[in-house]
Amino acid sequence: MGRPPCCNKDGVKKGPWTPEEDIILVSYIQEHGPGNWRAVPNNTDLLRCSKSCRLRWTNYLRPGIKRGNFTDQEEKLIVHLQALLGNRWAAIASYLPERTDNDIKNHWNTHLKKKLEPGCANRPPSSRGSISKGQWERCLQTDIHMAKRALCEALSVDEEPIEPREAKSLDCADAPPPPAPTTYPSSAENISRLLEGWMKSAPRKCGTAAPASSESVQSESASSQGSASESACNNASPNSLSLLESWLLEENEGQGGGNFLEYMAILDDACDLF
C-alpha cells in the first residue's frame, strides 16, 4: 500500500527534533504508553507525522538505548549476524537489545562494511529477492554449524579478528571514546536529562534503575515493536545473547548441546522473519 496519509498532510514538520518536541513526545508516551502512533500527533501539539514520532521514540528517546561506541564484541556479532541474516537490521538488532536497528545499520554502512569490503568474505545472502524463503531456511539449517562457529568467534573477545585485514579496523573498542557531541540532536546526555524526571516517576517494568546516563541504562522497554526490547526487559539482560553465550560456553567446555535447542529456537525466530 501507499504511504500513510499523515505524511502527505501539509504543515507536517520535518527535520531535526527540538528539545520541546522531545519533551512533548516523551510526556505523551509517559501518559499513554508507546504504540498507537497515529494518535500522537492528533493528541499533542506536535506537527509531526506518526512515523516520525515512532522513529524518534524508537531510535532516540526510548529508555534502554545504548549509544556511543560499539564494542569489539558488538561489532563482531553484527558482522556475523549480517553475514547470516543479510541486511535485516531489525532482526540483527533483536540480538543487541540496547542498539537500534537504525544505529546498527548506520554503523554497518559507515564502519563495518568498509572494513569488510576488500575481501567480501562475509557476503550476506544478498537480498530477499534472490533466495526463496524455503531455500533460505534450509540454508540456515544446513549452515547451523557455520553459524555456531561464527557466533563463537563473535563472542570471543580474546580471539583474533574475523579476518586478518580487519585487525586494524576492529580495534576501536580500545580507542578512547570520541568527545561527546555538543549539539542537541546528538547529545545523549541531553536526552538523559530530558528523561531523568520522567524515569523517576515512570512505572518500573524491569526493576532496573532509571538511566542516569544513556550509557548505563538497562533496557526498560516500553516500546511497542519490541520483541527485542521486551525480551531484554523480561530478563533484564539481552537474553538471546546470554543463551548463545551459555550455549557456546558449554560447547567450549565439551558439554555442547545443552542449550542447543534453545539456540535453535532463537534461530527459528530468525527464520520466522522470512
What does the binding site for DNA look like in residue numbers (CB under 7 A)? 1-7, 13-17, 35-38, 48, 50-52, 54-56, 59-60, 67-68, 87-91, 101-103, 105-107, 109-111, 127, 178-179, 181-183, 185-186, 224-225
The amino acid sitting at 110 is T
Q: Give the side-chain half-sphere CA count within 13 A for 233.
A: 18
8-state DSSP, 50: H
Report the nearest approach of DNA to the CB of residue 4 (Å). 3
Q: Report d(CA 258, CA 182) in Å as an integer.
A: 48
The answer to whether 57 touches 191, Cβ cutoff 8 Å, is no
CB atoms within 10 A of CB 87: 15
Q: Report d(CA 271, CA 141) in Å as an integer.
A: 9
Report the nearest approach of DNA to the CB of residue 119 (Å). 18
Q: Which of 208, 212, 231 is nearest to 220 (CA)?
A: 208
Closest CB to DNA among 124 and 197? 124
Closest CB to DNA among 34 and 161? 34
Q: Report d(CA 228, CA 215) in Å as an integer.
A: 18
Report the nearest approach of DNA to the CB of residue 272 (Å). 10
Burial class (CB in 10 A: 0-12, 13-18, 19+), 48: buried
Q: Which cell numbers hold the place of 133? A: 524463503
Closest CB to DNA among 30 and 186? 186
Report the nearest approach of DNA to the CB of residue 7 (Å). 5
Closest CB to DNA among 56 and 80? 56
Report the nearest approach of DNA to the CB of residue 45 (Å). 16
Q: Which residues contact 33 (CB under 8 A, 6 or more apart)?
A: 222, 224
Closest CB to DNA among 14 and 145? 14
Closest CB to DNA among 25 and 244? 25
Report the nearest approach of DNA to the CB of residue 162 (Å). 19
